Amino acid sequence: MSFEIIKRDTNFDFVGMRRYAYVLSAVLLLAGFLSLLVKGGPQYGIDFAGGFNVQVKFSQSVELDKIRTALDSPALTGLVVQNFGDAGDHEILLRASFSEQTANQVREAVNTGLESAFPGVTHEIQRLEMVGPKVGADLREKALEAIFY
């Protein structure tokens, strides 16, 4: 007794169904292009658009809304705050759009904002990554080349 997912005498007419496959492919492509138009184009992450990733570990649990309010500054435009890692780790990930700030200026803005908003809570910046807009544009261009060539 053998285990067969498709029986040996099964016959699929792939060539006869090709027109249906063409139509299905065209419909899916149009749906993808329409969704891009409706959403205003692709929403690039910092890898392709440029920006900062800052991973912060707290000594205790903090509210994400308070962090958003505390870090509302020109140094951190387009800030996205989310939990990172396990719930007991008390880690958050901050993502910000690229600005003309240096990594040290962003680090200082994060430290100042968090210290003023959470005076009794210690925090540590564990990681700060920066991708410049030129590098992001170059990565985006190379990714599109890889897809279409």
Segments making up each domain of the chain, as ranges? 46-137
The CA-based diameter of the chain, rounded to the nearest angstrom, is 73
> Which residue has better confidence, 83 or 2?
83
Query: Which fold does the domain 46-137 belong to in CATH?
Result: Alpha-Beta Plaits (3.30.70)
Structure pTM? 0.62
Question: 73 burial class (0-12, 13-18, 19+ CB within 10 angstroms)?
Answer: middle
d(CA 131, CA 95): 11
What's the average model confidence in pLDDT over 28-46? Answer: 88
d(CA 83, CA 58): 11
- What does the CA dihedral 34, 79, 49, 83 come to, rounded to 10 degrees? -80
What's the average model confidence in pLDDT over 111-117? Answer: 87
| The predicted structure's pLDDT at residue 99 | 67
E strands, the chain, in order: 51-58, 80-84, 91-97, 123-131
Model confidence pLDDT, tens digit, residues 118-149: 888 888 889 888 877 677 777 778 887 888 87
